[in-house]
Amino acid sequence: MKAMLRRVTAKKRKLRFEVQLTLQELTNVATRDASVWVKVKCPGCAAVESRRTKLADQAVVWGETFPLVCNMTVDDASNVVDSLVVRLSVRAAAVATGGGAAAAAAAGGGGGGGGAFERLGVVNIDLAELVGVRETERGFLLEEASFNAVLKVGLAVHQVAGDAMFRARSADDAAS
């Protein structure tokens, strides 16, 4: 009984990682005449947004980097890093044709925030699967999307605090 109580009340080991998330490009977008941006949400960090970029030839290129500081924990029993999901929400606002700044602001593409937008899809990235990888570049198919757009993302993950004795989470660990 005491062992079980100790296991329930045991503190998890804490790790801190510095993540450089680079939004490279979005391809195969089936929308026309739109201003597209990405909202990055990481637990424990303030949400940030990329710049709004006009869609050209069914693609958008950003090349924008966002520094994130992420706190993670390690399961003591398995020594595996607990899941931490960064959510990238790809959004679009219709580009106003004519009418100047007032029409652009009404369409949500005025750069001043707010306004109406359409969520094209999302990408969920589990950083716990990437803690052992220094730098990587991957393409992610948009989830919850009505077309097969691919978001290309670069990630650099560096540990800045905590014990280095852990295992990265694998896709098999996530299923169990």
Render pLDDT for 157-173 as a digit per residue (tens, 0 to 9): 999 988 888 888 887 76
* For residue 174, pLDDT beyond 60: no
Give the model confidence (pLDDT) of 14-62 as tens digits.
999 999 999 999 999 988 788 999 999 999 888 999 999 999 999 999 9
Is residue 38 packed enough to be buried (19+ CB in 10 Å), middle (13-18) or exposed (0-12)?
buried
pLDDT at position 105 is 39
Among 109, 105, 86, 104, CA closest to 39 = 86
Farthest-apart Cα atoms in the chain, separation: 73
- Chain position carrying tokens 């100790």: 6
Which of the four pLDDT bands, split at 50, 70 and 90, describes residue 176? low
Among 125, 138, 15, CA closest to 70 = 15
Confidence (pTM): 0.80
Give the model confidence (pLDDT) of 88-120 as tens digits.
999 999 766 554 443 333 334 444 455 788 999
DSSP state for residue 5 in the 8-state scheme: H
Q: What share of the chain is helix, strand, coil (3-state, %, to 5)?
A: 15, 50, 40
- Give the other-Cβ count within 10 Å of 15's Cβ: 22
Kindly state which CATH superfamily the domain 13-139+148-175 is placed in: C2 domain (2.60.40.150)
